[in-house]
Structure 1
Amino acid sequence: MPAFSWLALFFGAFYFVYGAYLPFWSLWLEGIGVSAEQIGLLLGAGMAIRFAGNLLIMGRIKGAGHLLPITRLLCLLSLLAFLGFYVSHSLWWLVALTLVANFIYPTLMPVGEALATRMVVQTHLDYGKVRLCGSFAFIVASTLVGALVGNFGSEWVLHTMVAGLLLMLLLSVLPLNPAPQELQGERARASLRDTLKSASVRRFLLITALLQGSHAAYYGFSAIYWKAEGYSGTVIGYLWALGVVAEICMFAADKRFLQRLNAQTLFLVGAVGCVVRWSLLGASSELWVLVLGQLLHAVTFCVSHLGAIRFMTRQLPAEQMIPTQGLYAALGLGMMVAALMTICGVLFEPLGGGIFFLMILVVLPVFVLRLRVPAEGTPA
């Protein structure tokens, strides 16, 4: 199967599952009797273990040829892990299974991104168009699950995820053409330790950790907060879907309108969007404010993420791309979100929507941080 089609299907399946998990997993936990503080701890523990999973699993990938076998194994283990949530709802079982599931499943994100960035370099793949297929699937899932939760109950969050994981496993065994391969003249893959010796990589990781970490309150508690404010599961699903519609538009516009912008500029635009968005969501739960805030997802997440892809595909030597992808997922999309999500879990009951204002403080340092990198080369 051509690289574009394979990756479009894979991203679609992964983000379909993620579209059920990210907005609604907290509601599933609430539905089985878990308290808000315990939800925060479970979500935080899950995000924290991603750090170890991303580093250990990505660290085992010795070259581009290992990406597909690892992807298929992770799909199988992810399905088995989430099937385990049917077995018991005791707190210690939930803790243990949360750690296992989040050690395995989220690593499919950096592995998939590593496949995509490899194809960007290897076949000049249009990353934005491939990635927007995942965003579209996220919309379908969040809208579908929102309706299912509203009409049939929160147990449908898990049912939908298991169905999506089974589909992802089946898709992953399809052949990818061309297969990922080492580039001519490429040196052996750099280790995580060697990659971290780069000052530009460390600065990049700090910036992305702050930008993506500031989404912790939104990812962990927006659904619970909006439900408490009187919105139905269907409306919450539509709100999440709207944010991803905006994300799709931004991904689609990337190659045509954003190609001249370097990573630093994209990070600054993302930071401005974060300040505006978290201010809006913290100040009001009026529907028009939530709609505007969700449209800004195109800036807070998407533009920031495109900045990360721009840095990794244009400004890194090829041997550092896979380890940097793993570090980005572990720190920017994992550890920072985990720490902040745990804090939000403790503060949600006393502060309510005020936890969004705390996220503004997280992102402010981005305005004074600067990437120290050589001039950009070939466009992504």
Structure 2
Amino acid sequence: MSLLPLAAGPRLGLLYALIFAGIGVAMPFLPLWLASLGLPPEVIGALVALPIAVKIVATAPLVALIDRGVTARALLVAGSLGLALTYALMPAAAARGWPVLAGAIALNAVAGAPLVPALDYLCLAAVRRDPRLAYARIRLGGSLGFLAASLAGGWLLGLVGERAGVTAFLAGLGLVSALGSAALAAGTAAEPARRTPPGSARLPLALRLAMAAAASAQASHAAVYAFGSIHWTSLGLTPPLIGAAWATGVVAEIAFFVLVGRVAALRDAPFRLLALGAGAALLRWAGLIGLSGLSGLSDLSGRSGPGLAAALLPLQALHGLTFGATQLGAMGALARLAPEAARGRAQGIYAASASLASAAATLASGAAVRQGGPLLAFALMLPVAALALVLTAAAARAGAARFVTRGEPRL
């Protein structure tokens, strides 16, 4: 039984907050911790890309266990405990050299691989069962958890420093999410009615194209995810200001999740949402290129231009579309097009596809920063976002005859 007498929607929203709190610290500040070790950009890029690459292999088979009788709750608890342990071991691993650290990061990635797709599985199952629920409203919990953790992380690290605080904070958050998963995930979704053999249901072409489009749009974030914080630090931004820059994107994401249900043209329109996310990505990365070019910020030498924060924050606000619209589009396509007997597998395949695209984009970003600085890295993200638009158009054509919205869950 659940330890909290809450309905499924609030419990899932709180669970999203707990899981995404760890992401809200790891994404902006773990690269800074790696930089504090004195590692060169190409090694940092490889270490940031490593967990993404591991998830390519680990995510789909782990999440597919749901279709074979393993509960999503069990995956959430085990994965969170694994994160806590591996984050706690990272400082000792780093002391032995970056190859040993890479091993700890790989184990950490295996532990974290099923968390978000298993939680999305629980959420979509609850939404299908109760028409009063909407995915976007529940997913707000994750955005709020990310926001709170990124702000708290910036404040805490400003006090104790990246070297001392990042991994300890993340280990503690892992333990909290494990306890929360055990308490909050119970009873939020029905157990699988029967165990299904792998590959028993084929994913339709429209769904595969939509997943590829979403993976491409999400992968276009690679340059800013891996090197945004490092770059902004070199320009003189403090950890609290960096946390605020990340928080700006999450606030925009929250606003989008709140308002999207009121926009008739986007409500229950996954392909339009995917197109909106990819189009905003083109604008966002072009803006960062312009910012770098105008300010002369094409390397990590520490030069800064006037009004950096004022110019940066509107571009960060586009995260509400580049991530938020893309996420809702992907979940909408999965909810409507995935076969009943393969929902867990489809969720895992999408997560693995996104990891594959992001790993390639992150490695390319590391090489680009080494050769030409952030300007070149952001430029490489433009064709990735353009590919997402092309794939979205193909998915819309392939899915036009299949799409049925009657009785489907609300985004």
TM over 0.5: yes
2:282 alignment counterpart: 275
Distance 1:199 1:187 in 2: 25
TM-score (norm 2): 0.86
Superposition pairs of residues 334-345 of structure 1, within 5 angstroms: 334-345=355-366
Superposition pairs of residues 53-68 of structure 1, within 5 angstroms: 53-63=58-68, 66-68=71-73
SS of the equivalent of 1:260 reads coil
- Matched length: 376
Q: Could you tell me the percent identity over the aligned residues?
A: 27
SS of the equivalent of 2:329 reads helix
| Residue type at the aligned position of 1:169 | A
**293, 310, 313: which one pairs with 2:335?**
313
Q: Is the 8 A contact 1:47 1:337 kept in 2?
A: yes
| Residue type at the aligned position of 2:150 | S
Per the TM alignment, residue 3 of structure 1 is displaced from its structure 2 partner at its CA by 1.3
2:297 alignment counterpart: none
What do the CA deviations read for 1:178-224 (whole angstroms, capped 9, x no partner)? 442258xx775573x45565322321222112111111111111001
What do the CA deviations read for 1:261-311 (whole angstroms, capped 9, x no partner)? 511111111111001000111221522221111110011010011001111
* Aligned: 1:112 with 2:119: yes
| 177 and 109 in structure 1: CA distance in 2 versus 1, 3 angstrom threshold | closer
2:404 alignment counterpart: 376
What do the CA deviations read for 1:76-95 (whole angstroms, capped 9, x no partner)? 22211211113231212111
TM-score (norm 1): 0.93
SS of the equivalent of 2:93 reads coil
- Higher mean C-alpha deviation, range 60-69 or range 146-155: 60-69
Distance 1:223 1:325 in 2: 30
Q: Is the 8 A contact 1:23 1:219 kept in 2?
A: yes
Distance 1:117 1:200 in 2: 19
What do the CA deviations read for 1:51-86 (whole angstroms, capped 9, x no partner)? 112022112223576211222222222211211113
2:204 alignment counterpart: 198
- Higher mean C-alpha deviation, range 271-280 or range 53-62: 53-62
* Aligned: 1:208 with 2:226: no
Distance 2:232 2:41 in 1: 14
2:17 alignment counterpart: 12
* Aligned: 1:264 with 2:271: yes
Q: CA RMSD in A?
A: 2.0
2:243 alignment counterpart: 237
* Aligned: 1:152 with 2:160: yes
| 253 and 65 in structure 1: CA distance in 2 versus 1, 3 angstrom threshold | farther
Q: Is the 8 A contact 2:127 2:409 kept in 1?
A: no
Distance 1:293 1:190 in 2: 45
What do the CA deviations read for 1:288-339 (whole angstroms, capped 9, x no partner)? 221111110011010011001111112333223221111111111x111111
Distance 1:118 1:261 in 2: 16
SS of the equivalent of 1:180 reads coil
| 91 and 177 in structure 1: CA distance in 2 versus 1, 3 angstrom threshold | closer
Superposition pairs of residues 159-178 of structure 1, within 5 angstroms: 159-174=168-183, 176=185, 178=187
Distance 1:260 1:142 in 2: 29
Distance 1:68 1:275 in 2: 37
Distance 1:171 1:235 in 2: 30
| 190 and 288 in structure 1: CA distance in 2 versus 1, 3 angstrom threshold | farther
